A and B are shown apart, each in its own frame.
Chain A
Amino acid sequence: MWCGWELPLSPEKPPLPCVLLAREQPTGSTASSGTNQISQQARKGKKSKFQKSSGYKFIFWLFDVPSIQELHPAYTTATMATATEPQFPPPKVLTYPASAPPILITQGAEGRLYKTTYQTADRPCALKYRPPKPYRHPILDARLTKARISSEAKVLEKCLREGVPVPAVYGMDPAAGWMAIEWIEGVPVRVGINKWLGERPDEDEEQKPVTAEDDAPLVDLMRRIGSAVGALHKTGVVHGDLTTSNMMLRPWKDTQQNGHAVEGDKAKILEGDVIIIDFGLATQSMSDEDRAVDLYVLERAFASTHPRAERLFEELLGAYGKTFKKGPTVLHKLEDVRMRGRKKSMLG
């Protein structure tokens, strides 16, 4: 059921991508262009924020950066100086003539993220490319790349079908190592929260703690994150690397406030739908243990990324618990996971 780009037979003919998981057009209109079964199934289901929202512009994404940095708070951005990055030739799929040249957005350990367009010049898309690893045996390398691309696409497709807000899959070629997905507008949640916290007057230990009322927009965002993670877990997907960098804050359109009152410019920082991204480490699992570990990773990451907002994590968990039936069980399990810690005591 997955299909890739139809590559041109002659170089002057531009590549013709096949539509997969067609989505509503980014015009905000209710007219639907999606005719395939999957989107129809999705539309029959519960109406989610994901289906209500629209709009595709944007430019920021974090790809394949696991959360270890958050587990080791000592790694500040200062010590994370970037190594001199060599220039890479783009993957073959990006070498065909196009109106807009592809832009290399980021280079992770696993692969690279390009920004390009899909079908029309005004619809941006993200292309995840896993280049061959020179150190790996070619048979093993091909096997892993293929399995990882397919599994990530399968997880995304499953989320889409269930109405969980994730980027849509446009196309892929597991053998060639790439996958084209929807470009998500907005900024990472990490950036939004830091901006929000940064605009507050410096909060010394002695000063009075900020009251819950002051933080109402942040509390609201925490609840939205909790619901998004809950929705993800409900479908049987465990992300494996939940951090505030792996969630996007896609702004609401001015015309549709989703019932949220406008509280001046500052409150706007935290407005938007929470879209979870980067499923490179995701697995399909319904076990409470796996879900609890997923939450634990997020908790640790959150505490080290946003120590000043740590006390609001309870709000996230509260919203998570209400999202699905097994939520409270998972939260109970989370207490065990916290006691145990992620790391084993070292054996000989």
Chain B
Amino acid sequence: MMDLTKTPRRIALGLEGSANKLGIGVILHSGPSLSSSSATVLSNIRHTFVSPPGTGFLPKDTAAHHRSFFVRIAKQALAAADVSISEMDCICYTKGPGMGAPLTSVAVAARTLALLWDKPLVGVNHCVGHIEMGRAITGASHPVVLYVSGGNTQVIAYAEQRYRIFGEALDIAVGNCLDRFARTLKIPNDPAPGYNIEQLAKQGGRVLLDLPYTVKGMDCSFSGILTRADELAAMMEKGTGKGPDGEPFTPADLCFSLQETIFAMLVEITERAMAHVGSNQVLIVGGVGCNERLQEMMGAMAKDRGGSVYATDERFCIDNGIMIAHAGLLAYETGFRTPIEESTCTQRFRTDEVLVKWRK
């Protein structure tokens, strides 16, 4: 096999569709070796399936969305990147974890392109994609990673060729808790339910409503909090809800209290992991990582420990194709390939199952 690290330019196409975002991106790695290569984003196009207020995105509808938009978005991404197909080294797609139907639709598209253009396929773990993109963008060298999204809540640190999970949500993911609460309050899902909760929470702050706080060691749980928040919302609807100050509370107060509680839990488990591995860098990735209040709280914790927080904006935090292209290309450079017969996808794919050969 040709030593790819010697070639000056390597280009990969990344296809992501594990949830309601269809993302396609093209990345360029230039430079002679793995350690000194630099990554350039050539294009990063995304299209989101938005369901009406009060509803979530169903697998069937989301898969239909991805199928109908795939060709359009792929053409846009290739045009924006301005590279020819012959220059492309490999096609990277999300192998998992995620929702079955959307994953399948994108995996089928990835196979089709691979056969059509005669390019090798690389199946990528979605979580590893987030981590690698976060590291590449922020330059954090050895951070503790908090990965928070609609489907995942994990505190991760790297050791011995694996991203090890130190703590995680025991039931629903933090983003799922926020999304479902947005449904309860009938907050629009456009651009994202979490974003709208964040904006509403900025108007709150008068009172802090009492919600359960469930941290178990480095793990945490969100379903009980959601149940209580839903109960409080129902009381508010009926007009029987009273805050600690005796005044009725508003949706803004609820959003504020929910954010303060669940983000405090996330920061607490992250702090524990940091104390363990002796790192004072923390990197936040995943859709919930866009939340400025979470970034602010994490920053306060990191400052207290003499460290700093690294976060990216919505282009890289929210699911995107470029992160799949980047992580896939890193694996490709170490010789990793996914033969077409094995180019399946899976809903369950733990972050620590991936052998991270590209890091020391």
Which among A82, A84, A346 has the highest number of chain B CB atoms within 10 Å?
Answer: A346
Interface residues of A in 89-139 (CB under 8 A from B): 108-110, 133-137, 139
Judge whether A68 and B276 touch: CB under 8 Å: yes
Report A-chain residues with C-beta under 8 Å of the C-beta of B170.
344
- Find B164's partner among A72, A136, A344 (CB 8 Å cutoff): A72
Judge whether B159 and A135 touch: CB under 8 Å: no
Stretch at the interface among A73-81, A184-192, A255-263, A317-325: A73-81
Question: Can you report 11 residue pairs joining A to B where beta carbons are below 8 Å apart?
Answer: A65-B275, A65-B276, A68-B167, A83-B274, A84-B280, A109-B268, A133-B267, A133-B268, A135-B296, A140-B261, A344-B170
**Chain B residue at smallest Cβ distance from A77:** B278
What's the minimum C-beta distance from B290 to chain A, rounded to whole angstroms? 18
Report A-chain residues with C-beta under 8 Å of the C-beta of B216.
240, 281
What's the minimum C-beta distance from B253 to chain A, rounded to whole angstroms? 12
Judge whether A80 and B213 touch: CB under 8 Å: no
Report A-chain residues with C-beta under 8 Å of the C-beta of B100.
348
Does A241 have its Cβ within 8 Å of any Cβ on chain B?
Answer: yes
Does B246 have its Cβ within 8 Å of any Cβ on chain A?
Answer: no
Q: Given the complex of chains A and B, what is the CA–CA distance between A80 and B218 in angstroms? A: 17
**Chain A residue at smallest Cβ distance from B126:** A348
Q: Given the complex of chains A and B, what is the CA–CA distance between A139 and B208 in angstroms? A: 7
Interface residues of B in 236-264 (CB under 8 A from A): 260-261, 264
What 1/0 mask marks residues of chain B from 261 to 298 whose CB sits below 8 Å from any chain A CB? 10010011001111111111000000000000000111
Judge whether A84 and B304 touch: CB under 8 Å: no
Judge whether A108 and B278 touch: CB under 8 Å: no
What's the minimum C-beta distance from B53 to chain A, rounded to whole angstroms? 23
Report A-chain residues with C-beta under 8 Å of the C-beta of B260.
136-137, 140
Report B-chain residues with C-beta under 8 Å of the C-beta of A265.
none
Report A-chain residues with C-beta under 8 Å of the C-beta of B272.
66, 68, 109-110
Having A110-B272, A345-B348, A346-B351, one finds 16 other A-B pairs with CB under 8 Å, namely A66-B276, A68-B218, A74-B164, A75-B159, A82-B278, A83-B278, A83-B279, A86-B306, A109-B272, A135-B298, A137-B264, A140-B208, A348-B18, A348-B19, A348-B97, A348-B99
Does B162 have its Cβ within 8 Å of any Cβ on chain A?
Answer: yes
Report B-chain residues with C-beta under 8 Å of the C-beta of A135.
264, 267, 296-298, 300-301, 304
Which among A68, A69, A343, A345 has the highest number of chain B CB atoms within 10 Å?
Answer: A68
What's the minimum C-beta distance from B260 to chain A, rounded to whole angstroms? 5
**Chain A residue at smallest Cβ distance from B103:** A348
Contacts A66-B272, A240-B217 given; indicate if A72 touches B159 (C-beta within 8 A).
yes
Report the 7 A-B pairs with minimum CB-CB distance, sorted nearest first.
Answer: A109-B275, A135-B300, A74-B159, A74-B160, A135-B297, A109-B272, A83-B280
Does B166 have its Cβ within 8 Å of any Cβ on chain A?
Answer: yes
Q: Given the complex of chains A and B, what is the CA–CA distance between A95 and B218 in angstroms? A: 33
Does A85 have its Cβ within 8 Å of any Cβ on chain B?
Answer: yes
Judge whether A66 and B348 touch: CB under 8 Å: no
Contacts A83-B305, A135-B301 given; indicate if A109 touches B168 (C-beta within 8 A).
no
Judge whether A108 and B217 touch: CB under 8 Å: no
Interface residues of B in 300-352 (CB under 8 A from A): 300-301, 303-307, 347-351
**Chain A residue at smallest Cβ distance from B168:** A343
Judge whether B307 and A69 touch: CB under 8 Å: no
Q: Given the complex of chains A and B, what is the CA–CA distance between A175 and B349 in angstroms? A: 44
Q: Given the complex of chains A and B, what is the CA–CA distance between A344 and B159 in angstroms? A: 21
Contacts A84-B306, A343-B168 given; indicate if A79 touches B277 (C-beta within 8 A).
yes
Q: Using a CB–CB distance below 8 Å, which chain A residues touch chain B?
A: 65-69, 72, 74-75, 79-86, 108-110, 133-137, 139-141, 143-144, 240-241, 281, 343-348
Q: Given the complex of chains A and B, what is the CA–CA distance between A85 and B306 in angstroms? A: 7
**Chain B residue at smallest Cβ distance from A241:** B217
What's the minimum C-beta distance from A146 to chain B, rounded to whole angstroms? 12
Report B-chain residues with C-beta under 8 Å of the C-beta of A83.
274, 278-280, 305-307
Does B98 have its Cβ within 8 Å of any Cβ on chain A?
Answer: yes
Does B39 have its Cβ within 8 Å of any Cβ on chain A?
Answer: no
Chain B interface residue bracket vs A: 35 or more
Report B-chain residues with C-beta under 8 Å of the C-beta of A136.
260, 264, 267, 297
Does B165 have its Cβ within 8 Å of any Cβ on chain A?
Answer: yes
What's the minimum C-beta distance from B126 to chain A, rounded to whole angstroms? 9
Judge whether B306 and A81 touch: CB under 8 Å: no
Report A-chain residues with C-beta under 8 Å of the C-beta of B349.
346
- Find A346's partner among B97, B166, B278, B296 (CB 8 Å cutoff): B97
Contacts A75-B159, A109-B271 given; indicate if A140 touches B277 (C-beta within 8 A).
no
Q: Given the complex of chains A and B, what is the CA–CA distance between A144 and B306 in angstroms? A: 24
Q: Given the complex of chains A and B, what is the CA–CA distance between A333 and B209 in angstroms? A: 39
What's the minimum C-beta distance from A129 to chain B, rounded to whole angstroms? 15
**Chain A residue at smallest Cβ distance from B349:** A346
Q: Given the complex of chains A and B, what is the CA–CA distance between A67 and B160 in angstroms? A: 19
What's the minimum C-beta distance from B276 to chain A, rounded to whole angstroms? 6
Q: Given the complex of chains A and B, what is the CA–CA distance between A69 and B167 in angstroms? A: 12
Does B151 have its Cβ within 8 Å of any Cβ on chain A?
Answer: yes
Q: Given the complex of chains A and B, what is the CA–CA distance between A140 and B100 in angstroms? A: 39
Report A-chain residues with C-beta under 8 Å of the C-beta of B280.
83-84
Contacts A66-B218, A109-B271 given; indicate if A134 touches B301 (C-beta within 8 A).
yes
**Chain B residue at smallest Cβ distance from A280:** B217
Judge whether B159 and A79 touch: CB under 8 Å: yes
Q: Given the complex of chains A and B, what is the CA–CA distance between A240 and B304 in angstroms? A: 27
What 1/0 mask marks residues of chain B from 147 to 179 whose CB sits below 8 Å from any chain A CB? 000011000000110101111101000000000
Report A-chain residues with C-beta under 8 Å of the C-beta of B19.
348
Judge whether B348 and A75 touch: CB under 8 Å: no
Report B-chain residues with C-beta under 8 Å of the C-beta of A66.
217-218, 272, 276
Judge whether A140 and B167 touch: CB under 8 Å: no
Q: Given the complex of chains A and B, what is the CA–CA distance between A65 and B164 in angstroms? A: 18
What 1/0 mask marks residues of chain B from 201 to 221 whose CB sits below 8 Å from any chain A CB? 000000010100100111000
- Find B151's partner among A86, A144, A240, A348 (CB 8 Å cutoff): A348
What's the minimum C-beta distance from B344 to chain A, rounded to whole angstroms? 15
- Find B278's partner among A81, A137, A241 (CB 8 Å cutoff): A81
What's the minimum C-beta distance from B69 to chain A, rounded to whole angstroms? 21
- Find A137's partner among B165, B208, B351 (CB 8 Å cutoff): B208
Judge whether B217 and A347 touch: CB under 8 Å: no
Q: Given the complex of chains A and B, what is the CA–CA distance between A183 and B218 in angstroms? A: 27
What 1/0 mask marks residues of chain B from 89 to 115 whose CB sits below 8 Å from any chain A CB? 000000001111000000000000000
